[in-house]
Amino acid sequence: MSTRLKLISAKPAQAVEPEAVLEVQGLSKIFRVNQTTLHALENIRFQAGTGELICVLGPSGCGKTTLLKILSGFIPPSAGQITLNGLPVFRPGPDRCVVFQEDALFPWLTVAENIAFGLKGRGFGSRSVRQETERFLSLVNLEAFRDYLPREISGGMKQRVALARVLILNPKVLLMDEPFAALDAQTREEMQTFLLSLWKKLSHTILFVTHDVTEAVTLADRILVMDKNPGRIRHDIAVPLKRPRMRETDAFHHHCKHLYAMLRTEKAE
Amino acid sequence: MNDRPKPYRLLPWIIPGTLVVAWWIVSQSGWIPGYLLPHPKDIAKTGYAYIFGLDGNGPYAGRFLTDATASLLRVVMGFSLAAFVGVPLGMLSGRLEWVEKLLSLSVNGVRAVPGISWLPLSLVWFGIGMKTTVFLVSLAAFFPIYLNAAAGARAVPPILLQAGAMMGVGRIRGTFAILIPGAMSHLVAGLRLGLGISWAYLVLGELTGVPSGLGAVIMDARMSGQIDVIIVGIALIALLGQSSDYLLRTLLRMLFKSARRTP
């Protein structure tokens, strides 16, 4: 607990404008299905600063997963530009790693082998691969499960492996697509706390997609609230609450209520 | 399997055991004459002579090793050829639409022709012996291997390929580290089916009058009316087929993590 508080004080909230890592400008995506056009995303623009934890919040069908797929390079945008440290982004790459909602571990590899996977075949010696794997195994508290196969561990553990296997690559941005949505409520809360503790240690820039208001308020420095038909960013709001955030406090409730109201008015329109 | 209770391990032997006992009773009672179905006792004697070549069993005594080696060589060559062509081609057509479009009509057309129909043609082309047998075996084994490899490559979850792409995996490593392991259960199924069919077509190829081989022995024994030798040949082919299947599975498990670890 004490280290956590120290780390928070070391990171003054909103003191300096952080340098932008990820910059998205005029991003649109249009799907054409049977002569009907769907504006999945319209004129999305935002910046993510170094070490920022940004949540993208919106109802299902607002295009938030599409946004993440475009950012990760799996699908091309219809218009607009994405730059990472000033360089344009075209295809998938280890500078923008993804933690998927569903289980995307390799079922024929053990926990340790899954974590080491990304490091292999890029010129690291086997000793340094082993050392790094050990480091990240212990970082996600899975040393005891190193030789287990994905099907032998729980959903929460799987997502911890999924985190470790991308964090080991030291991505510039970590993209998370509702990674805890398939977990039970208790595990989800544990994973949120766990993600925050990892983020404090490694201070990655994280873009976290969710439809869960409480989750967004628990995690985010900033929340991008999305709207659907067409999918666009309606609000960009800061969450100035101190961490660790207690769900029982009035301030927390206030933020949640505020966000629920935003989502409701969007639906009504 | 080995930690199963004992009754489970006996289960596979109930049917063959019962058949042998029934056969014994039928032969002992004399309901079926020996020239149609020899007594199991005589089969055992013939088999022993054929394998170990002790008391003179005419022309067949002690020929087993020569025949089995010849047959195995033909199966291994034909099967390997089918696997080396079938697996890559199948995986390509499972992943790339243009390869699938290019091949599917021709492959399905050739597949519709029963393997036996190739026998006369291959006799003309390759003559009697090794080449014809290898040709027939590899032709027949190709289809299950190819089709299963294609199905396996198609069935690899896209999310695994996406995961590889975002971790910076290129084409070559993606193929060997994700695509092949991801398709492994299909590949194993196709190879096992192909090997099984290889044995069937081995006998067909050897029926044409090659000097050695298990199929040749069966055919030869029919000419000379030695039913016991035919039955011994059939039993040995069953045994070798089973063992080769077991060996194939063991080999694949030794070579590939994915064959060991995915059900």
ipTM for the whole complex: 0.85
Q: Check whether residue A153 and residue A181 sit in a common domain.
A: no
pLDDT of residue A4: 38
Using the beta-carbon criterion (under 8 Å), do A97 and B166 form an inter-chain contact? yes
User: What's the total number of domains in chain A?
Assistant: 2
Contact of B44 with chain A, judged by CB distance below 8 Å, is answered with: no
Q: Check whether residue A90 and residue A129 sit in a common domain.
A: no
Residue type, A170: N
The domain spanning residue A25 has which CATH number?
A: 3.40.50.300
pLDDT of residue B3: 58
- Within-domain flag for B207: yes
Q: Check whether residue A27 and residue A91 sit in a common domain.
A: yes
- Within-domain flag for A71: yes
Contact of B187 with chain A, judged by CB distance below 8 Å, is answered with: no
- Within-domain flag for A257: yes
- Within-domain flag for B241: yes
Q: Check whether residue A56 and residue A187 sit in a common domain.
A: yes
Q: Check whether residue A90 and residue A182 sit in a common domain.
A: yes
The domain boundary, picked from A119, A145, A170, lies at A170
pLDDT of residue A13: 46
Residue B132 CB burial class (10 angstroms; 0-12, 13-18, ≥19): buried
pTM exceeds 0.90: no
- How long is chain B? 263
Using the beta-carbon criterion (under 8 Å), do A74 and B257 form an inter-chain contact? no
Using the beta-carbon criterion (under 8 Å), do B168 and A96 form an inter-chain contact? no
Domain of residue A162: give its range. Answer: 108-170
The domain boundary, picked from A121, A142, A170, lies at A170
Q: Check whether residue A84 and residue A181 sit in a common domain.
A: yes
Q: Check whether residue A85 and residue A214 sit in a common domain.
A: yes
- Within-domain flag for B78: yes
User: What's the total number of domains in chain B?
Assistant: 1
Residue A47 three-state SS: strand
Which residues in chain A are closer than 8 Å to B174, comparing Cβ atoms? none
Using the beta-carbon criterion (under 8 Å), do B166 and A96 form an inter-chain contact? yes
DSSP structure string for A23-40: EEEEEEEEEEETTEEEEE
H or E stretch at A48: strand A36-49
Q: Which of B105, B88, B73 is nearest to B190 (CA)?
A: B88
Which range, A19-28, B78-87, B113-122, is most confident? Answer: B78-87
Residues 6+ apart with CB under 8 A from B229: B46, B50, B60, B217, B218, B220, B221
pLDDT of residue A11: 44
Question: How large a percentage of chain A has pLDDT more than 90?
Answer: 59
Q: Check whether residue A152 and residue A197 sit in a common domain.
A: no
**Nearest-angstrom CA–CA distance, B1 and B8:** 9
Q: Check whether residue A257 and residue A191 sit in a common domain.
A: yes
- Using the structure block, give the residue that is written with the tokens 């991008």: A224
Q: Check whether residue A223 and residue A254 sit in a common domain.
A: yes
- Within-domain flag for A114: yes
Q: Does residue A52 contact residue A20 with C-beta atoms inside 8 Å?
A: no
| Residue in chain B lying closest to A98 (CA) | B166
Q: What is the average pLDDT across A42-58? A: 92
- The first and second tokens of residue B12, run together, are 């596979």
Domain of residue B233: give its range. Answer: 63-261
**Nearest-angstrom CA–CA distance, A51 and A69:** 21
**Nearest-angstrom CA–CA distance, A136 and B109:** 53
Among A193-207, B27-41, B72-86, name the one with the lowest average pLDDT.
B27-41
- Within-domain flag for B116: yes
Using the beta-carbon criterion (under 8 Å), do A166 and B167 form an inter-chain contact? yes
- Within-domain flag for A187: yes
Question: How large a percentage of chain A has pLDDT more than 70?
Answer: 92
Q: Check whether residue A164 and residue A176 sit in a common domain.
A: no
Question: What confidence tier does A104 reach under pLDDT thresholds 50, 70, 90?
Answer: very high
Residue A82 three-state SS: strand
Phi first, then psi, for residue A210 (nearest 5°) are -155, 160
Extract long-range pairs of A65-70: CB within 8 Å, 24+ residues apart.
Answer: A65/A177, A65/A178, A65/A209, A66/A29, A66/A40, A66/A41, A66/A231, A67/A27, A67/A29, A67/A41, A67/A209, A67/A226, A67/A231, A68/A98, A68/A175, A68/A177, A68/A207, A68/A209, A70/A27, A70/A29, A70/A41
Give tens-digit pLDDT for B14-55: 998 999 999 999 988 888 888 888 888 888 888 888 888 776
The domain boundary, picked from A120, A135, A170, lies at A170
Q: Check whether residue A207 and residue A82 sit in a common domain.
A: yes
The domain spanning residue B95 has which CATH number?
A: 1.10.3720.10
Contact of B101 with chain A, judged by CB distance below 8 Å, is answered with: no
Q: Which residues of A touch B (CB under 8 A)?
A: 72-74, 91-94, 96-98, 100, 102, 104-109, 117-118, 121-122, 149, 165-166, 169
Picking from A102, A149, A169, the nearest residue to B167 by CB comes out as: A169
CB atoms under 10 Å from CB of B150, counted, come to 27
The Cα of A4 is separated from the nearest Cα of chain B by a number of Å equal to: 30
- Within-domain flag for A141: yes
Mean pLDDT of chain A, nearest integer: 87
- Within-domain flag for B8: no
Residue A234 three-state SS: strand
- Within-domain flag for A103: no
Using the beta-carbon criterion (under 8 Å), do A118 and B159 form an inter-chain contact? no
- Within-domain flag for B51: no
Residue A21 three-state SS: strand
Helix, strand, coil % (nearest 5) of chain A? 35, 25, 35
Helices and strands in chain B: count of H runs, count of E runs: 14, 0
Picking from B159, B168, B173, the nearest residue to A104 by CB comes out as: B159
- Within-domain flag for B112: yes
Picking from A73, A100, A165, the nearest residue to B159 by CB comes out as: A100
- Within-domain flag for B3: no
- Within-domain flag for A12: yes
Q: At what angle do helices B64-95 and B227-255 cross, to 10 degrees?
A: 50
Using the beta-carbon criterion (under 8 Å), do B169 and A93 form an inter-chain contact? no
